[in-house]
Structure formats: structure tokens, C-alpha cells
Amino acid sequence: MRLVHVSLPPGTYGKVISALDEQEIDYVVTEEASDRYTHVVMFPLPTNAVEQVLANFRELGVDDDAITVVTEVQAVESRRFEDLEEQFAEADVNEDRIAREELRGKADQLLSTPSTYIALTIVSAVVATAGLLLDSPATVVGSMVIAPLIGPAMAAAVGTVVDDTELFRAGVKYQIIGVGLSVLAAAVFAFSVEATNLVQVTDLRSIEEVRGRITPDFLSLAVAIGAGTAGAVSLTTGVSTALVGVMIAVALIPPAATVGLGIAYGLGRVALSAGVLTLVNLLSIELAALVVLYQAGYAPEGFFRARGARSDTVKRVGVLLVAIAVLSLFLGGVTYDSYQQARTEDAVDDAIVETLSSEYPSLQRHDISLMAEQRLLVLRRTTGAVVTLGVPPGTDTGGLLSTLETAIYDAVGHDIRVELRYVAVEYTEPRPPGGETPSGPAGGAGRLSRGAAG
């Protein structure tokens, strides 16, 4: 429910009051002291009725220069208001849909003051960097809670759809500043950590939280598009955007922090991979929000304004689609490479298991680790396999290496350097039914028997 205050310019009072009476809307009128307006009318409305009623007022001469205030209310005691709620509930309008004017105001409010935005962005990036270095998912999630990134994304989308150039430019500027500050803060913090040796990092790419941001695939698009869609829906229905802001931060803060890590540790490929992911997520969030808001019917009224807003929206959607398509080539390469690596690993595993079961049944496969070299930006070629086998004492493994090498070549179609590592395994015989320990050599030690251990 909303309480609407509208200042009435000269010549509109009678027409507005007649319109309110005709729609059976309760109202209160007070006189206005300035020369610009004659009266101020206040009336409660269901949330989804505000936009239509204000549009009717504009047709009666209450233009955009009139002061209009829309506030949320908790309860309205009125029989006529209940009838009004039922009337608009039967209309083909989402009950939670807020008015265009309220949408613009909420998007503007989501933009923090510059000092607050900069401070929270830097703190969020530093916490995310610490979480990545510590390989702590909880810390990384904590960094997302305080990130103020939903405001700029939604402001740019709303500004485009409602034809508010100033709001659009502010949203874009904040987004550029936010991502840039996140990368810079992460790089500076990571460099200080490395210089002071606070955290021992032997290989940045071996950290699970980092690896997930430098080998993204097409599923990353689903996260970003879902975040943008959720942000737009939460904004248009007037529900809290706090949790949705965390979802948007999921797609932006950790990848941006990973870019800073790559810069600090001199790993250009890490910085490039995470940078592509950050840009794809940023553009996908914006694209999803634009489409949702435009489809929700928030284009401005008036032929020329609506036409201009539609043109801007279509152009920006087109630019976003092209940019995402180009950057998605990287995601496609990563997805394809991951698929090929998984297929190769399965083929090697099957070849080893089949060879052992048919020719060396007493051996057991314990572990397989593949090694690969980078061919292109994201594509890799498997060059080696380290195979760990459980071998009972005294087992003859002669010819095993060449046999496995041949079997693996037949499975994958190219030479792979095979390294075998043996682990000696033994196990005790089970006790006889009587529970007595089997007799062994003098001294009473239990006899050990050769065999394979799981």
C-alpha cells in the first residue's frame, strides 16, 4: 500500500477531485501556500494502482513538474479502500508492481554516497582477497554481504528503460569505479601479503577458491543472468534488495579480487581469465536487468520519450549481446577444454583398469593424476599420467610400464608419458572360527600373507 501526495497546479484541482471521486478513492485536500500550486491532495492506493492513477493525473494537466511523493504505509482502515484493492486485484496488473516514479526513486536511493560506496567496495575486495588466499569459502561469502554493487547495476538499467540519462550515467560510472577499485584494492593487499610473507602461497592456481574463478564455464552466465533478473524483479516489486545484492556480488567481487591476485603475483593468465569472467558477469547482469525492466512495461509515457527510450534500450541490449558473445568464446573454450580433459581422464582410467584386470589381477589402481600443457589461451593437451598402484610384495611387474603406455595410447590417440608409482600392500589373514591366532614362526608372531589392499 502507498500514500500519495500530489501538488496541484492552477486549473487542475476540480478535474483531479472529480477523477478521484469517480474512482471512489478516499482523499484529503489541503491548501498550498506557494504561488505555483493551489492545493495538495493525499490519498491511499494499492501498490499496483499508483502508476495508473498518476498517469491519469498527467492527462488532466498535472505534469512532471508537480511535486509527487509516494510513501509506503502499513495499514489503511477504509471500506472503500478494500473495494479499491479488489478492483485492482482483478485487473491484469501484478499486485506487487510499483509505479515508474517509485522505481526511479528506489534505483536512485540504491546509489550510495561516493565515500560510502568507495569504502565498502575496498573493504569487500580486501576481505574477498583474504578469503581467496586462505581458501575460505565463508570469508569469501562474508565479503559479498557488504559489497554495494547492486545499486549501480540497477541504476544503469532503470535509467535506460525510463529514459533518465543522468541516472544511467551515474550507474555506469559507479560500476566502472567499483570494479576498478576492487581490482586495485585486491592487488595492493595481495602484494603486501606476499611482501610480508603473511600467507605461504606456493601455487596460486592450486587454491580451490582461486581455481574456480580462473577456469569459468558457461554455468557462470547462469549465475550472472540469474542475479540480474533477481535484482530487477526485487526492484519492481518493492521487496528488499539486500539478499539480491549478495547474489550480484557473488558474480563480481571474487572474480575481481582474483584479477588483483593475478596482478600481484605476476600471473598474467590468472588475471586475464578472472578479468574475462568479471566482464562477462557484469555485462550479463546488466543485460538481464534491462530485459526484465523493459518487458515489465516501464518505458516512459509520451510517444517521443517512449520511442527514444525504446531505441536506447534496443541499442544497449545489442551492444551487450555482442560483447557477451565475444567474451563467451573464452567461456566456451574453457567448457570444451574441461569436457575434453574429463574424457581423457576417463579413457586413461578405463585403459588402466582393463589392463590390470586382464593381465595383472593382483595389482590395484590407487590414483591417477594427469599432466597437461597449455596449447592456446584456454585449451590444454594431456602430456603425462602419474599412476599409483598397490603391489603385493614379490609381484612381478615386468613389462607393465610399456603395456600401460600402449593401452593408454590406444585409448586417447596420442603419446602420453606414463610414470608408475608402486605402493607395497599387505594384509593379515582372517582368524579361524575358533578365534585363535594362527600359529607362526617361533616367537608367536602372526603370519602375513601377500595380497591386494583396498
- Local structure of 110: helix, strand or coil: helix
Q: Considering only the top CATH level, what class is 2-96?
A: alpha beta
Q: Which three cell numbers stand for residue 151?
A: 545499486
Vertex 228: Cα angle to 223 and 229 (nearest 5) = 100
Q: Which residues, listed in sequence order, are joined to residue 197 by a DSSP beta bridge?
A: none
DSSP 121-190: HHHHHHHHHHHHHHT-HHHHHHHHHT---HHHHHHHHHHHHTT-HHHHHHHHHHHHHHHHHHHHHHHHHH
Q: Which residues, listed in sequence order, are joined to residue 30 by a DSSP beta bridge?
A: 40
Q: Report d(CA 293, CA 160) in Å as an integer.
A: 10
Half-sphere exposure (CA, 13 Å, Cβ side) for 326?
7
- Local structure of 7: helix, strand or coil: strand
Rg (CA), the chain: 33
248, 153 Cβ separation under 8 angstroms = yes
Q: Which three cell numbers stand for residue 109?
A: 536511493
Q: Which three cell numbers stand for residue 256?
A: 575481481
Q: Is 68 left (phi over 0), alpha (psi -120 to 50) or beta?
A: beta
Q: Which residues, listed in sequence order, are joined to residue 371 by a DSSP beta bridge?
A: 384
207-224 as b/e, with b when 16 or more CB fall inside 10 Å? bebbebbbbbbeebbebb
320, 160 Cβ separation under 8 angstroms = no
Closest among 168, 169, 181 to 117, alpha carbons compared: 181
- Local structure of 439: helix, strand or coil: coil
- Can you give the pLDDT at residue 71? 85
DSSP 282-345: HHHHHHHHHHHHHHTT-PPSSHHHHHHHHHHHHHHHHHHHHHHHHHHHHHHHHHHHHHHHHHHH
**What's the per-residue H, E or C state across 371-404?**
EEEECCCCCEEEEEEEEEEEECCCCCCCCHHHHH
Closest among 215, 266, 271, 254 to 129, alpha carbons compared: 254
Sign of CA dihedral 86, 235, 2, 307: negative
Domain boundaries, the chain: 2-96, 103-298, 341-450
User: Which amino acid, residue 61?
Assistant: G
Q: Strand 39-45 vs strand 2-8: parallel, antiparallel, or unpaired? A: antiparallel
Q: Which three cell numbers stand for residue 34?
A: 506557494
Q: Strand 417-424 vs strand 380-391: parallel, antiparallel, or unpaired? A: parallel
Read off the pTM. 0.70
The fold of the 341-450 domain, in CATH, is: GMP Synthetase; Chain A, domain 3 (3.30.300)
427, 397 Cβ separation under 8 angstroms = no
Query: How many DSSP H helices and E strands does the chain contain?
Result: 14, 9
User: Which amino acid, residue 409?
Assistant: Y
Q: What is the pLDDT along the chain (454 residues), one digit of tens a residue?
A: 888 888 888 888 888 888 888 888 888 888 887 777 888 888 888 887 888 888 888 888 888 778 888 888 877 777 777 777 777 666 555 666 777 888 888 888 888 888 999 999 999 999 999 999 998 999 998 988 888 888 899 999 999 998 888 999 999 999 999 999 999 999 999 999 988 888 777 778 788 888 888 877 777 888 889 988 988 888 888 666 777 888 888 889 999 999 999 999 888 878 888 898 899 999 999 999 999 988 888 877 766 677 888 888 899 999 999 999 888 887 777 777 777 888 888 888 898 889 888 888 888 888 888 888 877 666 778 888 898 988 888 888 888 888 888 998 888 888 888 888 888 887 777 776 665 555 544 444 344 333 433 3
